[in-house]
Structure 1
Amino acid sequence: MKDEASKTIRLALPIIIGELAQMALHLIDSAMVGAISYKQLAAAALVLNAMNIPFVIGIGMTISVSQMVSLAHGRRDSPLVSHYFFNGFILCAITALVISLTLVFGKDILYHLGQDPEVVTLAIPFMQLMGLSIIPMLLFMTLKQFADGLEYTRTAMTLSLAGMPLNILLNWLLIYGNWGFPRLELAGAGWATLITRSLMFLALGAIILKHKTFSKYIAVSSNQWKLRSKTMRELLHIGVPSSLQIGMEAGAFAVSGIIIGTLGAVAQASHQIALSCASFTFMVSMGLAQAGSIRVSNAFGGNNWSKIFIIGKSTIFTALIYGIICAIAFGVFRNQLPKAFNDNAQVLEMAGLLLLFAAVFQISDSTQAISAGLLRGIKDVKVPTILIGIAYWVVAIPFGYVLAFHYNLGAVGMWVGLIVGLTLASIFLITRFFKMTRRNTLEADTEKQSAANYISE
């Protein structure tokens, strides 16, 4: 099991670094905007919460590319890999365009969420720019999923890291108006994000089209780059449930943020700080989930259920250890971490309290994300989607709302609800994965034994 865990971690590390780099861009934006005022930080939080659900739905659709590419790669079928890549890219491009236009033209919804009017006024221009940046970001993610599905994970990681200093420089120029640039404040962060994401997409696209590593998949484009309804259905079979799964979890956090925002700008800013820290650690879990899913999908392509079981067990154990480490870190540094975002005394105090609750759910958050990824790797997506929906939307949000408003626990009540939802999701999904793998391993062993008996006779 230790050997399989090591293989998964080696594959996951570049993915994790790339994911952390992407998350770091949001943290940098929050910190640099928060230095102006906590209302600017609250406005950024409002936009990120409002667009989080459609954005992660788009990310879920890109996951279908890595899943199908990995499956075809496991069968050693390069033309099929190329075919899935092309159809997946077109599907994700359409998805990105729809999401972007929805956010840009639907920006006025921010006026109807019961938020601080000054916060909403600051948020509107940022919403437009972030909505536009969805297009290059999801296209970059699609190319990244293609490369990751082939287990070439370093390229996207390198570009993600390169994007960080560029984004910081653009923020410094456009948020604060340095070197003669206009002082755009929060809108400047939006422009910096749009420019950085566009350049990252163009760079990764050029590498995939021109580098020899991917040449055998590009060489067959004349035959394989054709749209087929059957292929689209296969991608949607993975993409839609994956989008719903990720969307329901992210949506639970986004809705909780909007609900907390009705309590005032201090509560909203505090929630955003704690959530930003939790989201940063979650990116490691997402990287492990992605790596585990790719390895499981590859083994699934070869119908090797015993290997699927070992990979899954070792990855879940790794998630458990990681969750414990994060929980301890949040508990120890809960009063220091918020100072990187803001200096308002009320915000710092409440954010420190919320980080204690974030520490509690680190274990269940990590294990549920990885279990969901493993289940996607064996193409089990429908039942897990239902289980996730129950955990977050039937239990977590209603329970948190009752605690927040009927028992006057405020933001703390919503976070308790999230803890309960994440714990239920973790239990549901881990149980589901081991049930599926044990059953299929037993069936595969029975078939092998029957074949062996037939040959001996």
Structure 2
Amino acid sequence: MSPYKTEARNTLRLALPIIFGELAQMSLHLIDTAMIGYTGYKQLAAAALVLNVINIPFIFAIGITISVAQMVSLAHGKFDKPLVSHYFYNGFWLCAFCGVLISALLLFNRDILLHLKQDPEVVTLAMPFMTLMSISIVPMVLFMTLKQFTDGLQYTKTAMVLSIAAIPINVFLNWLLIYGNWGFPRMELIGAGYATLVTRTTIFIVLAIVILRHKIFRKYIAIARSQWYLKRSTLKQLLKIGIPSSLQIGMEAGAFAGSGIIVGTIGAAEQAAHQIALSCASFAFMVSVGLSQAGSIRVSHAYGTLNYKRITIIGKSTIAMACIYGSICCALFMLFRNQLPFLFNDEAHVTNIAATLLLLAAIFQIPDAVQATSAGLCRGIKDVNVPTIFIFIAYWILGIPLGYLMAFTFGWKEKGIWLGFISGLSFSAIFLTLRFLKKIRRG
């Protein structure tokens, strides 16, 4: 077992900065949710509505950025610095184009909020927030692109430090703009939108300066003059990884976002409770994302030299860590399901519903951690097409239809939606794990 322990330790060492960075990013979301929630549950429902609508296209752009880490890691594994620079340059402009395009599409289609059968007061509150969140997609996508570059080189602490530093900035801006402190106008939900936009722009600019000036990254910039040109075949390589990756995480995020919109047709209180439970589950999921990304980067690095024995050890040890982590989360959600909702809202009818949903969230913690990790490992060996089909089946053939059936035909309402999550995540975990193990046996 010594090689497995060694590789697990190395994966965890790489994963920890990614995990802290992801948790910091999710903390920004949780802080916004909590600070908005205490202005009223309809404000919270409006924020949930906007995030659910934006999340699907936003996640697509984030998926494209994943290709940067994958291709940079592969070139790094071959010790080819010029190729690293070439992938970075092409990846940056590809992601920038995607971010601007998605932001523009959301801005010009804000009226979609009027056609989702939501509470009219919630929609009115959501419209200006939608504008600000759509604009903030551009700096966030650019930040994530730079982060994927540094992560692909296995320097994961850089983006982590900035992500953590963003928390106090965001909290302070929220305190000023949501509640109207220090003479600022009380803007409530709109204030949270401005705070998010400023915070995302700040961390992008700082990370860009670090990459351009720090000696670790400057060597890739210095040799890049001959490599910084757009090349169609390179863009195709990035898209070949990026589009399936986007579809994978987009279908998952889309299923959760779509479920939020469906729950919103039941009622504003149910939508607020759903957002509370989903925020807690999403926070826990960030550790799985970190394990997935670290496992993917390390597997991709080993794949550069076709070292299948090492790929096998890294993969199996990473899946084992995901199982252990999922079990811990399951126990914590069950123990604290009645206390966690009060971090976001203190209205009894909202917190009671959220406590029930957190119990259901506890059940899918293990399959959620395993499916995220297995999907990342498959990406690391450039296996993206079949896993994308599995994820489509898991969420859009099983999860959402079953959830809708149980919610409205069986009358289980928001609980039915979450039971659909459990079925979809379990399918995804089983088949993605089997797929990865099958591919490495063939290798």
Partner of 1:103: 106
Q: Are 2:214 and 1:208 aligned?
A: no
* Partner secondary structure for residue 183 of structure 1: coil
Pairing 1:85–2:80 present: no
In the alignment, which residue of structure 2 is the partner of 1:454? none
Q: TM-score, normalised by structure 1?
A: 0.96
Aligned partner (choices 52, 55, 75) of residue 52 of structure 1 = 55
Alignment partner, residue 24 of structure 2: 21
Question: Which of 41, 44, 47 is 1:38 aligned to?
Answer: 41
Aligned to 1:164: 167
Distance in 2 separating the partners of 1:8 and 1:222 = 33
Structure 1 position 176 matched with structure 2 position 158: no
Cα distance between partner residues in 2 of 1:424 and 1:102: 33
- Bigger radius of gyration: 1
The answer to whether structure 1 residue 270 and structure 2 residue 273 are counterparts is yes
3-state secondary structure, aligned to 2:306: coil
**Aligned twin of 1:244:** 247
For 1:32-431, list aligned pairs within 5 A.
32-431=35-434
* Secondary structure in structure 1 of the residue aligned to 2:276: helix
CA–CA separation in structure 2 for the residues paired with 1:202 and 1:398: 42
Which residue in the other structure is 1:7 paired with?
10
Q: Deviations over 1:257-294 (max 9, x none)?
A: 10010000010000000000000000000000000000
Runs of 4 or more consecutive aligned structure 1 residues displaced over 4 Å after TM superposition: none
Cα distance in 1, alignment partners of residues 105 and 343 from structure 2: 33
Q: Report the Cα offset of residue 221 of structure 1.
A: 2.0
Distance 1:104 1:287 in 2: 31
2:442 maps to 1:439: yes
Q: Which stretches in structure 1 are left out of the alignment for 5+ residues?
A: 441-457
- Supply the distance in 2 between the matched residues of 1:411 and 1:18 (Cα, whole angstroms): 31
CA distance in 2, matches of 1:300, 1:158: 29
Shift of 1:439: 1.2
Gaps of 5+ in 2: none
Instruction: State the 1:355 CA deviation.
Output: 0.1
Output the amino acid matched with 1:408.
G
**Per-residue displacement from partner, 1:60-117 (whole Å, max 9, x unpaired)?**
0000000000000000000000000000000000000011111111111011001000
Amino acid in structure 2 at the alignment position of 1:297: S
Counterpart residue number, 1:445 = none
**Cα deviation digits, residues 146-171 of structure 1 (max 9, x gap):** 00000001110000011000000000
How far does the alpha carbon of each residue in 1:225-270 deviate from its partner, in whole angstroms, 9 at most, with x for none? 1000000000000000000000000000011110010000010000
RMSD: 0.5
1:222 deviates by 1.3
TM-aligned CA deviation for residue 27 of structure 1: 0.4
TM-score (norm 2): 0.99
Amino acid at match of 1:177: G
Aligned residue identity for 1:137 = M
Displacement, 1:208?
Answer: 0.2
Percent identical among aligned pairs is: 65
| Shift, 1:431, TM fit | 0.3
Question: What is the rounded CA distance, in whole Å, between the counterparts of 2:223 and 2:113 in structure 1?
Answer: 47
